[in-house]
Amino acid sequence: MKNKIIVALDVPEVSEALAMAKKLQHSVGVMKVGLELFTAAGPDVVRELRAMGCNVFLDLKMHDIPNTVAKSVESAVKLGASFLTVHACGGAAMLQSASDAAHGSSLQLLAVTVLTSLTDKDLLQLGIPDKPADRVHRLAKLAVECNVRGLVCSPEEVSAMRSEYPAGVVLVTPGIRPEGSAMNDQKRAATPREAIQRGSDYIVIGRPITAAADPVAAAEAIAASLRQSPLKA
């Protein structure tokens, strides 16, 4: 892929998404289709992005009974998606069914652990006494044991995940905010360079690129920052 940037096409209209993708297709590595766009446009938007030559991250965070998730994974394979998210808290049977359905294809499954918008207080409200980092570790271990060889984790946990899984597991990090950007609803965030230095394979960036006055310039500035010398520890 061109680079480590996944741009989130979090818009409600397919025309807007495709126009943004056309602008950015030579500046980023992957286009992310999330729930907002997929609900509005359905699988056709994935087909159109693939027809443009874009790699697609289908971010649907699947969490259902094992058979339903397996059939959905098979559909994602047929669409030509490069990445697909499933919720690690769906349990071992669901995760293994998803892995089996993706086996032999080029689809990279990514297990979602703890959303980057959640804090300790949020987990307690859900009846989960774990700290976010402990919860991430527990769910990541379960996913990898079920042959899901990709993880979504925040910048705060990615170093530990890279230490735990030094090879063979793809780490994708949302919650990326370039220096000077608004945090919006992200609670556990980092700059692009910080996330890559900590061990991320890919970083997910939405509004700092798509809402910029010049999205291409914003994406290329981030890509250039990733080519600079590593940050000091």
- What is the Cα–Cα distance from 141 to 121, expressed in whole angstroms? 23
- What is the Cα–Cα distance from 83 to 223, expressed in whole angstroms? 20
pLDDT band at residue 2 using 50, 70 and 90 as cut-offs: low
Q: What is the pLDDT of residue 115?
A: 82
- What is the Cα–Cα distance from 159 to 180, expressed in whole angstroms? 23
3-state DSSP assignment of residue 230: coil
CB 59 within 8 A of CB 86: no
Look up 23 and say whether it is catalytic: no
Please give the mean pLDDT across all residues of the chain.
Answer: 90
- Is residue 189 predicted with pLDDT exceeding 70? no
Per DSSP, helices labelled H in the chain are 14-24, 35-41, 44-51, 66-79, 92-102, 120-125, 132-145, 155-164, 192-198, 207-210, 215-226
- Is residue 233 predicted with pLDDT exceeding 50? no
pLDDT band at residue 180 using 50, 70 and 90 as cut-offs: low
- Is residue 182 predicted with pLDDT exceeding 60? no
Percentage, residues of the chain above pLDDT 70: 92
Q: Using CA of residue 186, residue 192, residue 193, residue 198, what is the dihedral sign?
A: positive
- What is the Cα–Cα distance from 184 to 13, expressed in whole angstroms? 21
- Is residue 185 predicted with pLDDT exceeding 50? no
Q: Which of 2-6, 66-70, 121-125, 175-179 has the lowest mean pLDDT?
A: 175-179
- Is residue 183 predicted with pLDDT exceeding 50? no
- Is residue 230 predicted with pLDDT exceeding 80? no
What pTM does this model have? 0.90
pLDDT band at residue 22 using 50, 70 and 90 as cut-offs: very high
- Residue whose token pair is 């959905």: 72
pLDDT digits (tens, 9 = 90+) for 150-177: 999 888 888 999 999 988 999 999 888 7
Catalytic residue, from 2, 4, 61, 71: name it: 61
Domains of the chain listed by start with CATH number: 5-226 (3.20.20.70)
Q: Which residues pair with 188 in a beta bridge?
A: none
pLDDT digits (tens, 9 = 90+) for 130-155: 888 888 899 999 999 999 999 998 88
The three-state (H, E, C) secondary structure of 106-141, written as one string? CCEEEEECCCCCCCHHHHHHCCCCCCHHHHHHHHHH
